Copies of this chain bind each other. A is one copy, B any other.
Amino acid sequence: MDSIHLRIPGPTPIPPRIQQAMLAPMIGHRSGEFKRLYAEVTAQLPPLFGTRQRVLVLTASGTAALEAAAVNAVAPGEEVIVVVTGAFGDRFAAICERYGLITRRLEVAWGEAADPDRLRAFLRQHPKAKAVFLTYCETSTGVLNPVAELARVVREESEALVIVDGVSAIGGAPCEMDSWGLDIVVTGSQKALMLPPGLALVAVSERAWQAIEANPAPRFYLDLLAYRKAAEEASSPYTPAVSLFFGLREALAMIEEETLDAAVARHALLRDMTRAAIKALGLPLLADDAAASPTVTAVGPFDGSVLDPEALRACLRKRHGLVLAGGQKKLKGRIFRIGHMGWCAPFDILAVIAALETGLAELGYPVALGKGVQAAQEVYVRHVSRAHHGSAV
């Protein structure tokens, strides 16, 4: 049995109809067919970001989109604030440092969300900051940072651009880029968009375009001005990953059929089911309820516990083909993470929890079999019942 159940926070499983769409015969990237594909796809992307701005598509992974935001919007020698809540905020800061930006790190304990008041004080300490870098969903901890509130504080305190890593969030968490006052939001294809890795999406505000146009710092493959210019002709400046564009069109069709609101509500439900189950099993959750991401749940830390999360992951991989993620950097070996984004339904969470319970039992961890499943079921049944009675999700 080599059936695999991939429940890590990206890459995520690819729905068969997206696989099928990517099988379309190859086309030239300068052809009319590609221009139509490009135009169709890019017309449907802005609602995912909550923006009326154009969304640019780069052939690269999410890290390249983070770098694109940094090198286009800020020039070397300028000051920036990076709010670091985990491994990906840390990477954002590393990119800024590498490019000679004066980088002020606002460090937050891993597993906690950034606090708007702390950011306000930090902004007052660093009034020259040209940009503030935020991580919406910090994939390494399962924390969803309050970017709307954080962005409001930035706008109240300064003229700094608000640059947001939306990699594990867009499509799974609400995003209202324009009304929240976000200036650059980036994401990747391999998360809630249900595609293989290889495409990075970048949305840019008018304010950010002004900074980008004025920025003399060198960039070529990641030059957003080149992507904007090509986009005016429904084209990509460099050869795009054509098959992933075919897949993206199908993914956007799936999201449109479900509706974006329903997709976002589904992710919240998956989070609530997962967290209820973990609590019922008596396992620790790294993030508080108020800070919990709808796309990934970190379980742990297991410091001093008899449970070794790496042994648990190995057992689940072997017995059930269930692939969960481990911890990164300072959380390595101390937590495990359940990805519940993209092509993931309540059914999948029930199965994940049921398998998890057997793994705990096999490792000798005291577990009341079925207890986690029951808690998840109760969340689900309440949700369905509320939906039947017409309440808001």
Q: Which B residues lie within 8 Å of A196 (CB)?
A: 26, 241-244
Asked whether A220 lies within 8 Å of B4 as measured between CB atoms, the reply is no
Secondary structure call for the A interface: loop
The answer to whether A220 and B95 have CB atoms under 8 Å apart is yes
Bound Cα distance A12, B25 (Å): 10
Q: A6 touching B29 by the CB < 8 A rule?
A: no
Question: Shortest CB–CB separation between residue A196 and chain B, in angstroms?
Answer: 4
| Residue from B4, B22, B99, B222 in contact with A25 in the complex, judged by beta carbons closer than 8 Å | B4
Cβ of A98 within 8 Å of any chain B Cβ, yes or no, is: yes
Interface size on A, residues (CB 8 A): 51
Residue of B nearest to A343 (CB): B26
Hey, which chain B residues are within 8 Å of A19, CB to CB? 23
Residue of B nearest to A6 (CB): B26
Of residues 183 through 225 on chain A, the ones whose CB sits less than 8 Å from some CB of chain B are 188, 190, 196-198, 218-222
The stretch among A46-54, A58-66, A273-281, A375-383 that forms the contact with chain B is: A58-66
Contacts of A6 in B (CB 8 A): 25-28
> In the assembly, what is the distance between CA of A245 and CA of B165, in Å?
26
Does A240 interact with chain B (Cβ within 8 Å)?
Answer: yes
Tell me the smallest distance from the CB of A12 to a CB of chain B, in Å.
7
Q: Which of B11, B23, B220, B222 contacts A221 (CB 8 A)?
A: B222
- Residues from chain B with a CB closer than 8 A to the CB of A239 are 10-11, 61-63, 188, 190, 197
Would B197 and A240 count as touching, CB distance under 8 A?
Answer: yes
Residue of B nearest to A244 (CB): B198
A28 to B66, CA, bound (A): 21
Q: Look across to chain B and name the residue whose beta carbon is closest to the beta carbon of A29.
A: B11
**Residues of chain B with a CB closer than 8 A to A62's CB:** 238-239
Q: Does A111 contact B (CB under 8 A)?
A: no
Query: Nearest CB to that of A247 among chain B residues?
Result: B243
Residue numbers in B under 8 Å from A221 (CB-CB): 60-61, 63-64, 67, 222
Q: Answer whether residue A8 sits at the interface, using C-beta atoms and an 8 A cutoff.
A: yes
Complex-state Cα separation, A95 to B221, whole angstroms: 9
Write out the residue numbers on chain B whose beta carbons fall within 8 Å of the beta carbon of A10. Answer: 239
* Residue A231 interfacial (CB < 8 Å): no
Interface residue ranges, A against B (CB under 8 Å): 4, 6, 8, 10-14, 19, 22-23, 25-31, 59-64, 67, 76, 94-95, 98-100, 188, 190, 196-198, 218-222, 237-244, 323, 325
Apart from A61-B240, A197-B241, list 19 A-B contacts with CB within 8 A. A4-B27, A6-B27, A6-B28, A11-B27, A11-B242, A12-B26, A14-B26, A27-B323, A61-B239, A61-B241, A62-B238, A63-B239, A67-B220, A67-B221, A95-B220, A190-B242, A197-B240, A198-B243, A241-B244
